[in-house]
Amino acid sequence: MLQPDPPLPEPDPNSRKIVSWNLLRRTGAAVDCLVELIERERPDLLLMQEATREIGALPERVGGVYAWAQLPGRIHGLAMWSPVPWGKPPEIVPLPPGVLIDRVCQVLDWDGFGVGNVHLSHGQVLNRRQLRRIESHLPARAAVLGDYNIVGPALLPGFRDVGPRRPTHAMVDVLPLRLDRCLVRGLVCHERAVLPRGLSDHHPITVRLAPAPEGPCAPGRLRGMAEAVARLRRAGARGAGARRDRPGSGGSRTSPK
């Protein structure tokens, strides 16, 4: 069962709006649909999955900058668009391959945090391995958005799922699934929504993100804290055992049989 969206913090004037949409290659959303989406939503960053070469005409219609990462051997891939130039183009990160499709991720260093654009494999072990590969290319503050193809929790340590909880895709128009997600680390989500589906088989999602006031959660920090707690517990258990075995202590001691 899908959980309701948790309450959001107060709006932050420094937040940035991101829209992510799986376009459905060739037969789905085309440039005209994207122009209408941009004019209506005014995103600071638009992420696209299953974008074909034809989507490269988008800047001619709305300006801005555009980057396309074609999947190896496929007619489609990942794409990013922004109304203002980036400091440097997105990095293309190869992911652990599936049986039929080799996958990549786009990683953008953007406005003080990293953004990963993903279209993960359908295998429920493989797509979580792919997420861990992506995490190793992200800074302390980061967001990963796109088509996860994941059922259930993403299980990415240190990240929180802050995207909308409504279904974003209907498998054969029957089974509603929440495949399009947003996971963040060191960021706060101030707005989230599932947008009208249009001509694709996926709904776009939108989030508005800003740096967390308490600062980023450094990579490995949670793992290090857990290891420290485990060491303290082991030391406490050894100390308790020594006190029980000490002659004259108040602890009980089992007599040998």
Other C-beta atoms within 10 Å of 41: how many?
14
Closest CA to 165 of 200, 124, 127, 193: 193
- Contact in structure between 67 and 55 (CB atoms under 8 Å): no
Question: Is 123's pLDDT higher than 80?
Answer: yes
Question: Is 142's pLDDT higher than 80?
Answer: yes
Distance CA 185, CA 138 (A): 10
Question: Is 9's pLDDT higher than 90?
Answer: no
Q: What distance, in Å, lies between the first and last C-alpha atoms of the chain?
A: 54
β-sheet bridge partners, residue 183: 144, 161
- Contact in structure between 186 and 216 (CB atoms under 8 Å): yes
Other C-beta atoms within 10 Å of 98: how many?
15
Reported as a single tens digit per residue, the pLDDT across 186-220 is 999 999 999 999 999 999 999 999 999 864 444 44
Distance CA 11, CA 76 (A): 36
- Contact in structure between 170 and 145 (CB atoms under 8 Å): no
Would you call 7 exposed, middle or buried from its count of C-beta atoms within 10 A (0-12, 13-18, 19+)?
Answer: exposed
> Which has more pLDDT, 59 or 225?
59
